[in-house]
Structure 1
Amino acid sequence: MRKEEKFLVGISIGDLNGIGGEIILKTFEDNRILDFCTPIIYASNKVVAFLKSHFKSNLNFNGIHKPEQAIHGKLNVLNVWKENVAINFGKEDAKIGEYAIKSFKAATNDLKNNKIDILVTAPINKHNIQSESFSFPGHTDYLSQELEGDGLMFMITENLKVGLLTDHVPVSEVSSKINKKLITSKIETINNTLKKDFGIRKPKIAVLGINPHTGDNGVIGKEDDEVLRPTLLEIRKTGKLVFGPYSADSFFGSNNYKNFDAIVAAYHDQGLIPFKTLSFGQGVNFTAGLSGVRTSPDHGTAYEIAGKGQADNSSFKEALFTGIQIFKNRQQFKKMTTNPLKKQTQKI
């Protein structure tokens, strides 16, 4: 924890041809946010100066070369590169993808080495980031490699939290990837994050079926009966409050989701379509299950409006404050579980 509760928040710049730069600037134009954190944008002075000029922002920033140089009460820009970058809003560009990954890798490395407290990532283009040195579907898989864990995409708002058994995989491969080990691992991660990161003592978790109508007793697929139900039964025997599988088509429309602390979806669109329908612009993508805290807005690069000054920064701002709150919750959880007085009491 940094002095005066000014947490160091690293921000990867994302795809420079998208809306990432705009939503970052819009967020920190509210100076009150600097009372809660010290932001560090991983990019370059030249890039941020260009963005300031383009969007007619009055923001001032402090250029640095390492996190230790960050000035509290100011927006800091850590120079990951020095050269000029050709920004063409709305265009997919492999070179821009390289800069997005340079920023992301530098920020992740500082998070890994405890030089920053929290990482907030601006949106990337999953196609133009691919290279020989970076062959991951997105942020989550790389973070899992670097931050000691099995990252889980956890889409969250205050009242709705949705985790995924499988995330960025083709629909044709979903069933083959869901097995007892995966289900057990993901539910364990969600149960732990609800306790540690959100302060919920006894989480209630709902699991959605893999097939329509959870298979209709094998008529529309056997995975729910042969894999999902038996695994959930075993998990319940360990004392976890895990329920389901529920038919996905009616689960959200019936408001049944309000009865649970988290919902586990079998695949990407099964969970994210209802999540974004109910909370678009206010949702946050949190990578659960890692040693460090990483959050992101719930939207993409939005090339169609990039550079036009029309981007809504609400989700990015939510991602920032959610990251800070999760970091605080982890500190509190650690204090509670390592309280020396509590240990002495248990020994007596």
Structure 2
Amino acid sequence: MVKKAENIIVGISVGDLNGIGAEVILKTFEDTHMLELCTPVIFANVKILSFIKKNLNLESNVHGIDKLEQLIHGKINVLNVWREGVNIEFGVNDENVGKYAIKSFVAATKALKEGLVDVLVTAPINKYNIQSEEFHFPGHTDYLNQELEGDALMLMVQDNLRVGLLTDHVPVNEVSQHLTEALIRTKIKTIAKTLTQDFSISKPKIAVLGLNPHCGDHGVIGKEDDEIIKPALKKLFEEGVLVFGPFSADSFFGSGQYEKYDAVIAAYHDQGLIPFKTLSFGKGVNYTAGLDKIRTSPDHGTAYEIAGKGEADFNSFKEAVYLAIDVFNNRNEHNELIKNPLKTKQKQL
């Protein structure tokens, strides 16, 4: 059954309370039109959200609940994940605050896993202060990959610009060790499936960037492009995946080549994210592709330097909410068409 817009429940993990996470969440839903698109539920504590709202002179009205069955459509719901107070010092890297960021995230993920919320949008965390014996993951994506079915892949999105990664949080001097034909095949097939089911692109075209300068110049500046990437892409293309490359990364974005493709896959983190963040103008979204559930986040961090000052730009978080809703609707439509192929034919007529 297709949900009405306002009945799409968006679960939100609050992120680092000393950062800008709560600010961008509250600013996003100050616009009452957002409450017509979905029903937000923030996994945190209503007293703390009220304190932050007052500190920032925001007008958002938060509604505290103790269980998800109590949420009200048209309200900014705050599920009380904990009761005790938390000492908030904006801009401070605090290990105790990190624990509450993870309490929020783990509870929101559980709700997503159990189908109590439809999508998950995560506010920024500090990857250092969240580490503990109970939670030892580099970030959101790795934990989601453990808890949810599928094979998680970070896909950065801003309108028609989509950038994925073959390797993500890997030191640069270890990237080549991680590049294998099996990895390349898995990542590209995941992106191809995502573009079809989540972005409604029937025959997606995917570009892959080379690892080395000038794709290795036939082995003069590295052999990985010739010996690993090219053979993998050739086999995938022969199997019907519209994948092209590898392309020299230095000129790919500046020349506008990326506009010819539905997604671009970079070999490593900065190779993809530097041009993406340059082009996305603060409206980029981090989408976790490859999972059976939907998760998005803004493409920025905790921004301690401006936390508590009311200066945070909320556009990236707002776009993350929009994308989560769009993907939810696209995926439902895709699944419905698979169940009823006649609808596909009728749509094409």
Give 1:142 shift.
Answer: 0.5
Structure 1 partner of 2:118: 117
Give 1:2 shift.
Answer: 7.7
**Cα distance in 1 for residues equivalent to 2:190 and 2:67:** 33
Structure 1 partner of 2:220: 219
Give 1:4 shift.
Answer: 3.1
3-state SS of paired residue (1:11): strand
Of all paired residues, the percent bearing the same amino acid is: 63
3-state SS of paired residue (2:226): helix
Give 1:158 shift.
Answer: 1.1
Q: Deviations over 1:60-102 (max 9, x none)?
A: 1211122221100111000000000001111101111100000
Unaligned stretches of 5+ residues in structure 1: none
Give 1:235 shift.
Answer: 0.5
TM-score by length of 1: 0.97
TM-score by length of 2: 0.97
Structure 1 partner of 2:10: 9
1:325 aligns with 2:323: no
**Cα distance in 1 for residues equivalent to 2:317 and 2:3:** 25
Q: Deviations over 1:35-84 (max 9, x none)?
A: 01000000001211111110112221211122221100111000000000
Paired amino acid for 1:28 = F
Structure 2 partner of 1:314: 315
Structure 2 partner of 1:282: 283
1:47/1:84 contact within 8 Å kept: yes
**Cα distance in 2 for residues equivalent to 1:218 and 1:3:** 54
1:70/1:76 contact within 8 Å kept: yes
Structure 1 partner of 2:92: 91
Q: Deviations over 1:253-306 (max 9, x none)?
A: 000000000000000000000000001311100000001100000100111100
**Cα distance in 2 for residues equivalent to 1:3 and 1:140:** 27
**CA RMSD, Structure 1 to Structure 2 (Å):** 1.5
1:2/1:8 contact within 8 Å kept: no
Deviates most, 278-287 or 61-70: 61-70
1:280/1:298 contact within 8 Å kept: no
2:2/2:332 contact within 8 Å kept: no
Structure 2 partner of 1:51: 52
1:175 aligns with 2:176: yes
**Cα distance in 1 for residues equivalent to 2:2 and 2:266:** 37
Q: Deviations over 1:220-268 (max 9, x none)?
A: 1111111000111011110111000000000000000000000000000
Aligned length: 345
Paired amino acid for 2:176 = S
3-state SS of paired residue (2:89): coil
Paired amino acid for 1:188 = K
Paired amino acid for 1:150 = D
3-state SS of paired residue (1:129): coil
**Cα distance in 1 for residues equivalent to 2:182 and 2:111:** 32
**Cα distance in 2 for residues equivalent to 1:58 and 1:239:** 52
3-state SS of paired residue (1:150): strand
3-state SS of paired residue (1:289): strand
Q: Deviations over 1:173-226 (max 9, x none)?
A: 100001011000000000000000000000000000011110111111111111
2:27/2:60 contact within 8 Å kept: no
Unaligned stretches of 5+ residues in structure 2: none
Change (3 A) 1:211 1:3: closer
